[in-house]
């Protein structure tokens, strides 16, 4: 039976608390959570939820990744993913160097199609393939956009920077994701594309959502709405505005603002009803299904696990839903199942998430914390749980 060692999130919270010279009582007084919960998390008796970790990081004035242990280098090295990060980092530093005299790029239409294919790879959770192809495509697009600038090439380059952000977040390299978003803004400005600029604000908001800075996240969402308001009233602009509302809904849920959650979910639902499935727009997966998924996620974020589970059991995911979103749903549902005592069902959903999206699931903090929680709750660890715990390095 796997056992918790000193390398779980609760143990890292305890270590950082002690480095800050705070007793458990003193630290609990800085948190919107009880002393009892802090004690249970630190000793591994309760999993550390994302909102709890964010609150601890904010109180200690450190990055969330210090507490989650991201990036999970041992597993990344075992999967041969860590070696793909440095080339991405280097490619992001080419942006202001102009054309490369030693490079002959492919035709523009092939490069633009390549940028779209990378987005598709990430949505299909083919992270390794996307990470391998990304640096070369960024280099080619940077060279070609400088040599023969066009709106379409700058848009495609912004898209590759967005892919760099997506991969960096999924692998736990949040410092790199911030650089990628800065590059995305740089390219979006050259494309004069307000929708791309608004998508970038949405992604920045989610960075602050993870860090527990909900006020900044809300301001970025508002900024995104202002930017996309400058675009024509097109299906693209409406889909981006709808996705901004979905981002605002989960930020509001973390901030425990039910009124704001209902408002933003309502606005997103109104837009989705008007334009239908718009999952092709900027690869945002916006549409009625994504609105329903976010509504369930807000219930999870607000610890309304019974309601979240009720929604999940009624939900019918469309066949065209991106694998990345399907896996996220399974991970959220597993957390709700565990919190309501359905541990066997929780394990089944995590196994399903691993089956369809192994790389995403292995490096997802909520999936890892849920597996850790299931290990603690199990009197006799099922073979599948033992395997899953070993798989994440427990």
* Cα 114 from Cα 302, distance rounded (Å): 39
Report residue 55's pLDDT band, with 50, 70 and 90 as the boundaries. very high
- For residue 256, is it left (φ>0), alpha (ψ between -120 and 50) or beta? left
- Cβ atoms 393, 75 nearer than 8 A: yes
- Average pLDDT over every residue of 155-178: 95
pLDDT tens digits for 246-264? 999 999 999 999 999 999 9
Closest Cα partner for 256 from 304, 219, 293?
304
pTM: 0.90
Residue ranges of domains in the chain, CATH in brackets: 1-69 (1.10.260.40), 73-191 (no CATH), 193-321 (1.25.40), 322-394 (1.25.40)
Q: Would you say residue 194 has pLDDT above 70?
A: yes
- Cβ atoms 192, 151 nearer than 8 A: yes
Which phi and psi (to 5°) does residue 278 adopt? Answer: -130, 35
Q: What residues have CB less than 8 Å from 24, skipping those under 6 apart?
A: 17, 35, 38, 39, 42
Percent of the chain whose pLDDT exceeds 90: 84
Report residue 5's pLDDT band, with 50, 70 and 90 as the boundaries. low
Report residue 1's pLDDT band, with 50, 70 and 90 as the boundaries. very low
CB burial of 72-104 (b: ≥16 within 10 Å; e: otherwise) equals beebbeebebbebbebbbebbebbeeeebeeee
Model pLDDT, residue 317:
93
> What value does the mean pLDDT of the chain take?
93
- Average pLDDT over every residue of 272-295: 94
Q: Would you say residue 4 has pLDDT above 60?
A: no
Q: Would you say residue 28 has pLDDT above 90?
A: yes
Q: Would you say residue 387 has pLDDT above 80?
A: yes
Site of tokens 């999967």: 79
pLDDT tens digits for 294-333? 999 999 999 999 999 999 999 999 999 999 999 999 999 9
Q: Would you say residue 218 has pLDDT above 80?
A: yes
């Amino acid at each position: 039976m796997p056992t918790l060692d000193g390398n779980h999130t609760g143990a890292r919270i305890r270590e950082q608390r002690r480095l800050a010279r705070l007793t458990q009582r003193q630290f609990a007084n800085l948190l919107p959570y009880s002393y009892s919960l802090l004690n249970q998390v630190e000793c591994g008796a309760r999993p550390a939820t994302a909102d709890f970790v964010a609150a601890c990081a904010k109180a200690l004035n450190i990055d969330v990744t210090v507490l989650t242990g991201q990036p999970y280098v041992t597993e990344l090295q075992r999967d041969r993913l860590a070696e793909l990060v440095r080339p991405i980092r280097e490619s992001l530093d080419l942006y202001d160097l102009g054309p490369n005299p030693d490079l002959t790029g492919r035709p523009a239409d092939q490069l633009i199609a390549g940028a779209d294919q990378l987005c598709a790879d990430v949505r299909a959770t083919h992270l390794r393939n996307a990470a391998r192809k990304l640096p070369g495509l960024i280099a080619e697009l940077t060279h070609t956009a400088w040599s023969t600038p066009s709106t379409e090439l700058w848009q495609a380059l912004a898209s590759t920077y967005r892919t760099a952000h997506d991969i960096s977040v999924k692998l736990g390299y949040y410092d790199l994701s911030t650089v990628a978003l800065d590059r995305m803004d740089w390219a979006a400005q050259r494309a004069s594309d307000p929708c791309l600029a608004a998508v970038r604000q949405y992604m920045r908001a989610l960075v602050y959502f993870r860090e527990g800075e909900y006020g900044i996240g809300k301001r970025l969402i508002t900024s995104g709405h202002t930017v996309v308001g400058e675009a024509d009233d097109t299906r693209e602009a409406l889909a981006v505005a709808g996705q901004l509302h979905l981002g605002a809904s989960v930020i509001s849920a973390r901030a425990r603002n039910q009124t704001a959650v209902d408002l933003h979910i309502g606005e997103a639902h109104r837009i989705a009803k008007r334009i239908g499935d718009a999952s092709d727009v900027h690869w945002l997966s916006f549409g009625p299904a994504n609105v329903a998924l976010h509504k369930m996620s807000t219930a999870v974020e607000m610890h309304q696990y019974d309601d979240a589970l009720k929604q999940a059991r009624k939900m019918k995911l469309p066949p065209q839903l991106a694998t990345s979103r399907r896996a996220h749903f399974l991970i959220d549902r597993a957390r709700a199942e565990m919190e309501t005592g359905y541990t066997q069902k929780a394990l089944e959903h995590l196994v399903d998430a691993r089956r369809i999206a192994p790389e995403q699931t292995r490096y997802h903090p909520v999936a890892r914390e849920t597996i850790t929680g299931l290990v603690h709750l199990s009197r006799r660890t099922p073979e599948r749980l033992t395997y899953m715990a070993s798989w994440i390095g427990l």
